[in-house]
């Protein structure tokens, strides 16, 4: 066994705790989600299991809703982060709107009672069918990302005898200082309309009879942990707002997108209320304080509300590394392998006779990229339940069936109740969409 407490490269290994997480606590060595121990959840619902805390969700909603006197703001939850209907229902009940990127997401928003006026539609590749469905639902605003999309939306609206409210998503060419895969506001990204073409885009939109200009939009990336890139982008957007108003085109809102980061490890991101307050201040300073601000947060509303619970199948010491092989995999949580994301990992029950060592926590999938955490100082035994914290965003929503693995179950914990909000996917579920070839062609 490579039984050291340092990593192969001599660095100090990472250990995590669950302090500072609303909804979660450690009591006599046991991890609790509200009033139920994580081990009890794993026993009742099996693993891999996503467990969300309602209290944590409400904490985050309150942070985002805490507005700034005098500057109206609306929050549209970007459901790509976690589209579970039960969570959406809680957001809808709390008065949040939804930021959607597909007809599937539209249907989910409508299913939990959202009205068109609660929905903004983002995304770089809206199809004609997408547009028709969203026009039929009378969505509040389409965030349009290219001039050809403007033309297509205009045609779709005219054909349906209606008008599409639009914002142009402008690309402010600001470095969000985040992982390249989740950075979207640089000019070499596929997103948005180039800053220099935006005014022309607005002039064009103003001439199209099927469109009504509603606002302006930008989204510069995700997991942004400082205010500065947001403020920088806001000032660039406000430069454009001045030009657009100067051209006699009235705007009714400014949408600053999503992107606020969370604390997965050592990051220290601002609270949502600090971001709202900083951007409200920019807008007021520049004389546009009467324009409502829209935000499209995903991660910051849900990441810290969720645990991914997983059971240790094997502890496998080797000469080079110690592997802790668990029943969750990259199919349940792809962030570590896709973005080199370092997600926190803790043992749900602390052992009295502690024997920590440095482990890579890996799944059963046939890929070396199938890991959940590397170089972690953990005390793990076969049968232990581990929890990845911060797993509520871009976990379940990016899950796959690779290796014919069924997707995990999800539960929502509310004090001492746990509701199964999505049952575990069965092997039959996975095969249900497929058809066999007729016998004669075999």
Least distance (Å) between residue 297 CB and ligand LLP: 4
Integer Cα distance of 144 and 121 in angstroms: 8
The whole-angstrom separation of Cα 204 and Cα 224 is 33
CB closer to ligand LLP out of 181 and 314 = 181
By CB under 6 A, tell whether 182 contacts ligand LLP.
yes
- Cβ-in-10-Å burial (0-12, 13-18, 19+) of 46 comes to middle
172 binds ligand LLP (CB under 6 A): no
Stretch that binds ligand LLP, among 65-73, 216-224, 307-315, 434-442 (CB under 6 A): 216-224
Q: Which range binds ligand LLP by CB under 6 A, 51-59, 78-86, 402-410, 421-429?
A: 78-86
Q: Interface with ligand LLP includes 349 (CB under 6 A)?
A: no
DSSP string for residues in 25-76: EEETTEEEETTEEHHHHHHHH-SSEEEEEHHHHHHHHHHHH--BTTB-EEEE
Q: Where are the alpha helices (DSSP H) in 372-440?
A: 427-431
What is the spatial order of strands in the sheet that 30-33 belongs to?
A: 24-27, 30-33, 36-37
Query: Rounded to an integer, what distance in angstroms lies between the CA atom of residue 42 and that of residue 385?
Result: 7
Contacting residue, 185, 297, 306, 392, with ligand LLP by CB under 6 A: 297
Q: What residues numbered 8-47 form the site for ligand LLP, per CB under 6 A?
A: none
Binding flag, residue 186, ligand LLP (CB under 6 A): no
Asked whether 388 and 373 are in contact (CB, 8 A), the reply is: yes
In the complex with ligand LLP, the residue whose CB is nearer, 32 or 52, is 52
Of the residues 122, 146, 305, 322, which one makes contact with ligand LLP according to CB under 6 A: 122
CB of 289 to ligand LLP, least distance (A): 23
CB atoms within 10 A of CB 287: 12
- Pick 237 or 260: Cβ nearer ligand LLP: 260
Kindly state the smallest distance separating residue 223's Cβ from ligand LLP, in Å. Answer: 5
CA–CA distance, 129 with 247 (Å, rounded to integer): 33
Q: Does 257 bind ligand LLP (CB under 6 A)?
A: yes
Which helix (H) or strand (E) is 161 found in, with range?
none
Minimum distance of ligand LLP from residue 245's CB (angstroms): 24
Identify the residue among 81, 170, 291, 388 touching ligand LLP (CB under 6 A).
81
**Could you tell me how many residues of this chain bind ligand LLP (CB under 6 A)?**
21
Between 53 and 225, name the residue whose CB sits nearer to ligand LLP.
225
Whether residue 30 contacts residue 43, with contact meaning beta carbons closer than 8 Å, is answered with: no
| Closer by beta carbon to ligand LLP, 302 or else 409 | 302
Binding flag, residue 300, ligand LLP (CB under 6 A): yes
Spatial separation of the C-alpha atoms in residues 119 and 106, rounded to whole Å: 8
Instruction: Establish whether 366 is a catalytic residue.
Output: yes
Residue 116 touches ligand LLP, criterion: CB under 6 A: no
Shortest Cβ distance from residue 80 to ligand LLP (Å)? 6
CB burial of residue 368 (10 Å; 0-12, 13-18, 19+)? exposed
Min CB(162)–ligand LLP separation in Å: 24
Q: How far is the CB of 339 from ligand LLP (least distance, A)?
A: 5
Q: Site for ligand LLP (CB under 6 A): which residue of 74, 126, 253, 299?
A: 299
Task: Report if residue 229 touches ligand LLP, rule: CB under 6 A.
Answer: no
Q: Does 259 bind ligand LLP (CB under 6 A)?
A: yes
222 is a site residue for ligand LLP (CB under 6 A):
yes
The helix (run of H) or strand (run of E) holding residue 249 is none
Query: Does residue 379 sit in helix, strand or coil?
Result: coil
74 binds ligand LLP (CB under 6 A): no
Residue 225 touching ligand LLP (CB under 6 A): no
Could you give the 3-state DSSP secondary structure of residue 144?
A: strand
The reply to whether 253 sits near ligand LLP by the rule CB under 6 A is: no
Smaller CB distance to ligand LLP: residue 41 or 101? 101
Nearer to ligand LLP, 125 or 287 (CB): 125
Which pair of structure tokens corresponds to residue 12?
């100090």
Among the residues of 208-287, which ranges form H helices?
228-246, 272-285
CA distance 143 to 174: 19
CA of 189: how far to CAs of 182, 196, 221, 251, in Å?
A: 10, 15, 10, 25
Supply the minimum distance, in Å, between the C-beta of residue 77 and ligand LLP: 9
Q: Please, are residues 229 and 183 in contact by the beta-carbon 8 Å criterion?
A: no
Residues noted as catalytic: 366
Binding region for ligand LLP (CB under 6 A): 78, 80-81, 99, 122, 182, 219, 222-223, 257-260, 296-300, 335, 339, 394
């Amino acid at each position: 066994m490579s039984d050291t407490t340092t990593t192969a490269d001599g660095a100090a290994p990472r250990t995590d705790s669950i302090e500072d997480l609303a909804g979660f606590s450690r009591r006599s060595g046991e991890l609790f989600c509200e009033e139920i121990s994580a081990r009890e959840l794993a026993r009742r619902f099996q693993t891999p299991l996503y467990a969300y805390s309602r209290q944590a969700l409400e904490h985050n909603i309150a942070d985002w809703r805490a507005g700034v006197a005098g500057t109206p703001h609306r929050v549209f939850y970007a459901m790509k982060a976690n589209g579970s209907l039960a969570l959406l229902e809680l957001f809808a009940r709390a008065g949040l709107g939804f930021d959607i990127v597909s007809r599937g997401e539209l249907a989910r928003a409508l299913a939990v009672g959202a009205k068109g006026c609660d929905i903004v539609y983002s995304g770089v590749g809206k199809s004609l069918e997408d547009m028709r469905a969203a026009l039929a639902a009378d969505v509040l605003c389409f965030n349009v990302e290219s001039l050809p999309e403007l033309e297509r939306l205009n045609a779709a609206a005219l054909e349906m005898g209606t008008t599409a409210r639009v914002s142009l998503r402008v690309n402010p060419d600001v470095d969000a200082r985040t992982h390249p895969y989740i950075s979207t506001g640089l000019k070499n990204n596929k997103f948005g309309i180039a800053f220099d073409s935006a005014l022309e885009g607005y002039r064009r939109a103003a001439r199209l009879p099927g469109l009504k200009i509603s606002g302006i939009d930008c989204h510069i990336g995700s997991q942004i942990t400082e205010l500065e890139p947001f403020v920088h982008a806001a000032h660039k957007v406000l430069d454009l707002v001045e030009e657009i108003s100067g051209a006699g085109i009235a705007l009714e809102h400014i949408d600053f997108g999503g992107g606020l980061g969370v604390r997965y490890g050592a990051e220290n991101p601002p609270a949502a209320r600090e971001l709202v307050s900083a951007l409200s201040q920019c807008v007021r300073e520049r004389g546009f304080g009467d324009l409502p601000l829209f935000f499209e947060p995903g991660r910051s509303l849900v990441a810290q509300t969720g645990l991914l619970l997983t059971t240790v199948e094997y502890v496998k010491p080797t000469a080079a590394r110690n592997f802790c092989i668990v029943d969750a995999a990259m199919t349940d949580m792809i962030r570590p392998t896709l973005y080199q994301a370092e997600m926190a990992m803790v043992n749900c029950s602390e052992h009295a006779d502690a024997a920590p060592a440095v482990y890579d926590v890996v799944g059963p999938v046939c890929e070396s990229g199938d890991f959940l955490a590397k170089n972690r100082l953990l005390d793990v035994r076969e049968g232990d339940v581990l929890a990845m914290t911060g797993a509520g965003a871009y976990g379940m929503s990016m899950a796959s069936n690779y290796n014919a693995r069924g997707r995990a179950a999800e539960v929502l914990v509310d004090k001492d109740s746990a509701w199964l909000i999505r049952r575990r996917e069965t092997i039959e579920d996975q095969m249900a969409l497929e058809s066999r070839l007729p016998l004669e062609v075999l």
